[in-house]
Amino acid sequence: MQVGRPRMASDDADMLRSMGLRSIDDLFSDIPPSVRMKSLALPPGLAEQEVVAQVTEMLSANRTMADMPTFLGAGLYDHFVPAAVRAITSRAEFYTAYTPYQPEVSQGMLQTLWEYQSMICEITGMDAANTSMYDASTALGEAARMARRIHGGKIFLVPRALRWHRRSVLQNYTWGGGLLIKEVEYDRETGMLDLADLKKHLTEDVCGVYVENPNFFGRLEEQLADIRAATDAPLVVGINPLAQTILKKPADFGADIVLGEGQALGNAVNFGGPLLGIFACRQEHVRKMPGRVIGLTKDAEGHRAFCMTLQTREQHIRREKAMSNICTNESLMAVASATYVAVLGANGLRRVAADSMRKARDLAAAIRAIPGYEAPIFKGPHFNEFTLRHEDGYAPVHKALLAKGIHGGTPHARHLKELGDYALFAVTERHTQEDLDRLLDVLRSVA
- ∠ CA 371-377-383 to the nearest 5 degrees? 115
CA distance 349 to 242: 7
39 occurs within a structural domain: no
What's the domain count of the chain?
A: 2
CB atoms within 10 A of CB 371: 7
Last residue of a domain, one of 283, 309, 341: 341
CA distance 170 to 139: 9
Last residue of a domain, one of 320, 341, 362: 341
- Which CATH number covers residue 368? 3.90.1150.10
Domain that holds residue 378: 345-446
* Strand bridging mode 235-239 / 257-261: parallel
* Strand bridging mode 235-239 / 180-184: unpaired
Q: Phi and psi (nearest 5°) for 277?
A: -90, 115
160 occurs within a structural domain: yes
Q: Are residues 300 and 205 in the same domain?
A: yes
**Given CA atoms 44, 49, 50, 52 in this order, what sign does their dihedral have?**
positive
Contacts of range 83-91, beta carbons closer than 8 Å, 24 or more positions apart: 84/339, 84/343, 85/266, 85/336, 85/339, 85/340, 85/343, 88/335, 88/336, 88/339, 89/332, 89/335, 89/336, 89/339
6 occurs within a structural domain: no
Q: Are residues 301 and 405 in the same domain?
A: no
- Which CATH number covers residue 332? 3.40.640.10
Q: Are residues 280 and 421 in the same domain?
A: no
109 occurs within a structural domain: yes
3-state secondary structure string, the chain? Answer: CCCCCCCHHHHHHHHHHHCCCCCHHHHHCCCCHHHCCCCCCCCCCCCHHHHHHHHHHHHCCCCCCCCCCECCCCCCCCCCCCHHHHHHHCCHHHHCCCCCCCHHHCHHHHHHHHHHHHHHHHHHCCCEECCCECCHHHHHHHHHHHHHHHHCCCEEEEECCCCHHHHHHHHHHHHCCCCEEEEECECCCCCCECHHHHHHHCCCCEEEEEEEECCCCCECCCCHHHHHHHCCCCEEEEECCCHHHCCCCHHHHCCCEEEEEHHHCCCCCHHHCCCCEEEEECHHHHHHCCCEEEEEEECCCCCEEEEEEEECECCCCCHHHCCECCCCCCHHHHHHHHHHHHHHHHHHHHHHHHHHHHHHHHHHHHHHCCCCEECCCCCCCECCEEEEEECCCCHHHHHHHHHCCCECCEECCCCCHHHCCEEEEECCCCCCHHHHHHHHHHHHHHC
Q: Which pLDDT value is given to residue 378?
A: 94
Q: Are residues 316 and 257 in the same domain?
A: yes
What confidence tens digit (pLDDT) does each residue in 399-416 have?
A: 999 999 999 999 998 889
Q: Which pLDDT value is given to residue 96?
A: 79
74 occurs within a structural domain: no
What confidence tens digit (pLDDT) does each residue in 214-265 have?
A: 999 999 999 999 999 999 999 999 999 999 999 999 999 999 999 999 999 9
Q: Are residues 421 and 298 in the same domain?
A: no
- Neighbouring-strand partners of residue 212: 238
Q: What percent of the chain has pLDDT over 90?
A: 72
Q: Are residues 251 and 334 in the same domain?
A: yes
Q: Which pLDDT value is given to residue 4?
A: 42
Is the separation of the CB atoms in 425 and 385 below 8 Å? yes
4 occurs within a structural domain: no
Q: Are residues 257 and 405 in the same domain?
A: no
Q: Are residues 194 and 279 in the same domain?
A: yes
11 occurs within a structural domain: no
Last residue of a domain, one of 325, 341, 357: 341
Q: Which pLDDT value is given to residue 100?
A: 67
Q: Are residues 195 and 329 in the same domain?
A: yes
Q: Are residues 197 and 183 in the same domain?
A: yes
The single-letter code of the amino acid at 112 is T
Q: Are residues 136 and 185 in the same domain?
A: yes
CA distance 95 to 343: 19
Q: Are residues 256 and 320 in the same domain?
A: yes
Q: Which pLDDT value is given to residue 5?
A: 38
Q: From the centroid of its chain, how far is CA 233?
A: 25
Low-confidence residues of the chain: pLDDT under 50: 1-8
334 occurs within a structural domain: yes
Radius of gyration for the alpha carbons in the chain, expressed in angstroms and rounded: 26
